[in-house]
Structure 1
Amino acid sequence: MFDKLEELVSRFQEIMDELNEPTVTNDQARFRKLMKDQAELAPIVEKFTEYKETKQGIEDSLLILSEESDEEMRELAKEELAECKSRVEEIENELKILLLPKDPNDDKNVIVEIRAGAGGDEAALFAAEIYRMYVHYAETKRWKIETMEYEEIGIGGMKSVSFMISGQGAYSVMKYESGVHRVQRVPETESGGRIHTSTITVAVMPEAEEVDVQINDNDIRIDVMRASGNGGQCVNTTDSAVRLTHFPSGIVVYSQTEKSQLQNKDKAFALLRAKLYDIECQKAHDAEAEARRSQIGTGDRSEKIRTYNFPQGRVTDHRINLTLYKLDKIMNGDIQEIIDACIAADQARKLANMQDN
């Protein structure tokens, strides 16, 4: 590990030297790459520097203890030695986490697709609530949210909704939300007061650039039509809605959220690229079964990951055995504690997997 760290420190210094060259901005692609590499390596270099300083503190304390006869000085040295030894172990674990292989999609924006599952209208209502939960969460992170497609029902629910979240590291955080979300509560339409169980599915897909996914024009059929539903005066008067059919995969996407046909077409293609890229990512996960088992939240879409129990006011994440009794806050977007726990559990599993190998 320490040989690798020394190599990274050398590489970091090379990057800093290159960034200090007067002509570095002449090649913008190279400049952006250097800035990205510098940002990724800086936390590792800072932590390794702290590690070296702490190790030096241990040596200094041992030297004082071997040479000093004054009891007060010796006591101070013993305290310093104990603190440094404890801190060295902590920093070593932090360095191991920083050196874990990074998901290449972590820095990407995400497209989130929520679909009502079992439970009819109640599932559609819950889908709309989970959509609002993610919107509120994204707002706290100052991320941009853009709705791409949706299908509403008359009572305020959503059969499905797809939206993009744009922000630094969005995928690294939101990927833990993929899976089946279950709600247990008494529906407003239930006169007998019985608790119903409904489900929705959440798919979190990294935004795919054109370089990530090549789409052959001959594999696509583009249909334009008049939009339907709520959306203002021009919804039903112009052919602004766009539907894409991708023949090889059978995927059909539809966008009508914008008044411009061109904007809807761009959104539909972005959604199609994300779906195709996600299929390729899933294939890669399937091919690396062991790696997939060592991760949290990036595996089987049919996995039941979380239960929202309204009568008890609790939310349980089944992957990490975490139960929180603050359902109201969570439904208002306060999901950081759950995500932090998923990240910690994911890192712990990866570290254990590395040590086993």
Structure 2
Amino acid sequence: MTLPSGGEVWALARHEHIRTMLADPRFSSDRANPGFPLLLFSQRRVTNFRASLISMDPPEHGPARRAVVGEFTVKRMAALRPRIQQIVDEHLDAMLAGPKPADLVQALSLPVPSLVICELLGVPYADHEFFQTRSSTLLRRTTPGDERVAAVDELRSYLDALITRKEQEPGDDLLSRQLERTTAREELVSLAFLLLIAGHETTANMISLGTVALLEHPEALAAIREDPAKTPSAVEELLRYFTIAEFATSRVATEDIELGGVLIRKGEGVIALGNTANRDPEAFEQPDDLDVERGARHHIAFGFGAHQCLGQNLARMELQIVFDTLFRKVPGLRLAKPSAELPFKDDANIYGLYELPVTW
């Protein structure tokens, strides 16, 4: 496959091959490696790769991930459930009290995960417009290179200043706790950058897409309405069905490796087509069907292996709370325009919707 940035890379489409590749430490995550398959030229200019958790290889990656993974355990996430439920209730009540139709993206999908990740990290939610516009600029593939670089620089400068304030006045938040463990400023800024963007963009888009899918599959919606115990399985199926982010699963071979009967040479890049793999008929029966009772947790929507998504427990819980609460509080929810007319994010690195007009 030839990338937009030029150069040929290997494209993996089979579920089995991608999981094998992602579990093999001979495939490097180092985005500073000249052979790493970055999609755009400007990506090499926009961040300090070596300080970023998603760009680390062993032996640096293990200790760096362990230092923060405790913030996202199932137990710690469960402690956040009442607050997340409160946030969802407040935003839905505000939407119901407002005019119809409403844009679900602005009323619910975007503010809920944004507020949750802000409180978790210790980022002032009052600044949400600043970081949301920068992240949107960064994730849009059509953004000119100079604008992409400027967005990253502005966001990193903001986070650097925030961490400086936390050094002087620490709080009960993830970034303050990380300051107790490390003095590596660039590494901490990169961690904050990664968690802030990934923590709101991905879940926000899944809320919008999942809502559309459930409204267009009334039998699936009826199943979780009648039995909320089925919502966790429905969330897994929606994650598989859409597989909205693939930017974290590219690699570069550090030695000659045979995979699926093909020899990948040292220095050659590999792109994992997660969306295709999650529709692999050898891994999922009737993969193009939305089956909320499928229970297939072996999907790779969160990646696989050592770099599997840190925040997957948080994302699952947010999605479960949102879908259960949304369809309970707004039983008459429906799309305000046909799905074919909705503005999908076909130009973004994380798939989703720019807006979602709904009524009830």
TM-score clears 0.5: no
Please report the TM-score for the alignment, with normalisation by the length of structure 1.
0.26
Higher relative contact order (CA 8 A, sep 6+): 2
Q: Which has the larger radius of gyration?
A: 1
